[in-house]
């Protein structure tokens, strides 16, 4: 497969930055600058994924945003991707550290480099849940956000189709717990759950978030559900879901959208019955080449409307 010259130029402009966080760990942040610089976008990967999930040769989500004129940052959160050290059985951090330490460190870097925080956040899977949790605790960033875009993001499982149940209860819960006892961390790539490993703390806390009625921080007991109910100015949000997604069914995504309170939210369901080129899985909705023809242009159009 040959990449076009423009795409090759974009890849060559990639800047790799390491950001220190408490305990001596370092986060990796990738920066793809745009000459047009319409706005700054932060791409947030989900559980057991690093920022490579957004880059697929010359047609990934990051490159598509770059071609549209947006400056792009991608975060490898603690232990994943090119961050250091790698996830291992001694990794002692959870979602509280991700929200209270990792994301603030990434945003400070972006503010230092660009002068302002990101105007858009594009989230894959659980990355949307984590980013929403951060924003609920930091209203100043909410005010500076033009839009949030979620790909297959949800908290609870609403519709338990047997294949979805098999994926969730089998791979994520039963196999996940067995893997923790064996390795001391979640081998996400080995289990086919993502492109990277995940710490035991983040895995266990994410399971609690998904299975509990109330959305509560396992570290300091901050109640995200209550915080969302009090929010009156949540940014405009675009939600993508697919019936072929075995991780987040459209009803799960719709439930998550409603849990964020009253806001300008739009849910787009993907699939051949909806007129798309294919039935997208959890990963292919941001990685398949057809996405550049199907729904990525819709995303860019929506972003332009928020400017």
Spell out the per-residue pLDDT of the chain, length 307, in tens: 333 334 334 444 789 999 999 989 999 999 999 999 999 999 999 999 999 999 876 779 999 999 999 999 999 999 999 999 999 999 999 999 999 999 999 999 999 999 999 999 999 999 999 999 999 999 999 999 999 999 999 998 875 666 666 666 666 778 889 999 999 999 999 988 899 999 999 999 999 999 888 999 999 999 999 999 888 899 999 999 999 998 899 999 999 999 999 999 999 999 999 999 999 999 999 999 999 999 999 999 999 999 8
Question: What are the helix (H) ranges across the chain?
Answer: 5-12, 61-67, 95-97, 103-114, 126-137, 139-143, 162-165, 176-183, 200-211, 224-230, 250-259, 284-287, 291-294, 296-306
Q: How much is the pTM? A: 0.93
| 229: its two tokens | 């109910």
> Which CATH homologous superfamily contains domain 5-306?
Alpha/Beta hydrolase fold, catalytic domain (3.40.50.1820)
Going by the DSSP 8-state scheme, the letter that residue 275 receives in this structure is T
How many CB atoms neighbour CB 108 within 10 A? 12
What residues contact 303, with CB distance under 8 A and at least 6 apart?
Answer: 39, 68, 70, 120, 146, 147, 149
């Amino acid at each position: 497969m040959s990449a076009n010259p423009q795409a090759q130029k974009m890849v060559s402009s990639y800047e790799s930055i390491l950001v220190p966080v408490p305990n001596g760990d370092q986060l990796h942040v990738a920066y793809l600058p745009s000459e047009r610089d319409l706005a700054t976008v932060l791409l947030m990967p989900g559980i057991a994924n690093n920022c490579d999930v957004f880059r697929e040769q010359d047609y990934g989500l990051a490159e598509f945003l770059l071609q549209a004129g947006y400056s792009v940052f991608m975060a490898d959160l603690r232990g994943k991707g090119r961050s250091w050290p790698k996830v291992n059985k001694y990794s002692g951090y959870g979602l509280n550290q991700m929200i209270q330490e990792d994301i603030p460190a990434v945003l400070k870097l972006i503010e230092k480099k660009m002068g302002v925080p990101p105007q858009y956040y594009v989230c894959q899977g659980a990355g949307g849940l984590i980013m929403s949790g951060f924003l609920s605790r930091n209203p100043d960033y909410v005010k500076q956000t033009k839009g949030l875009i979620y790909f297959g993001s949800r908290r609870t499982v609403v519709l338990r189709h047997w294949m979805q149940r098999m994926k969730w209860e089998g791979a994520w819960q039963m196999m996940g717990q067995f893997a923790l006892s064996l390795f001391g961390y979640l081998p996400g790539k080995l289990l086919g759950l993502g492109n990277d490993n995940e710490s035991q703390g983040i895995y266990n806390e994410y399971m609690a978030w998904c299975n509990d009625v109330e959305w509560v921080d396992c570290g300091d007991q901050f109640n995200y559900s209550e915080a969302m109910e009090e929010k009156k100015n949540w940014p405009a949000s675009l939600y993508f879901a697919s019936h072929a997604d075995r991780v987040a069914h459209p009803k799960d995504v719709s439930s998550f959208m409603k849990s964020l309170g009253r806001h300008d939210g739009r849910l787009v369901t993907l699939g051949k019955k909806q007129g798309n080129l294919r039935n997208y899985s959890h990963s292919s909705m941001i990685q398949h080449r057809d996405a550049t023809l199907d729904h990525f242009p819709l995303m860019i159009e929506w972003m332009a409307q928020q400017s």
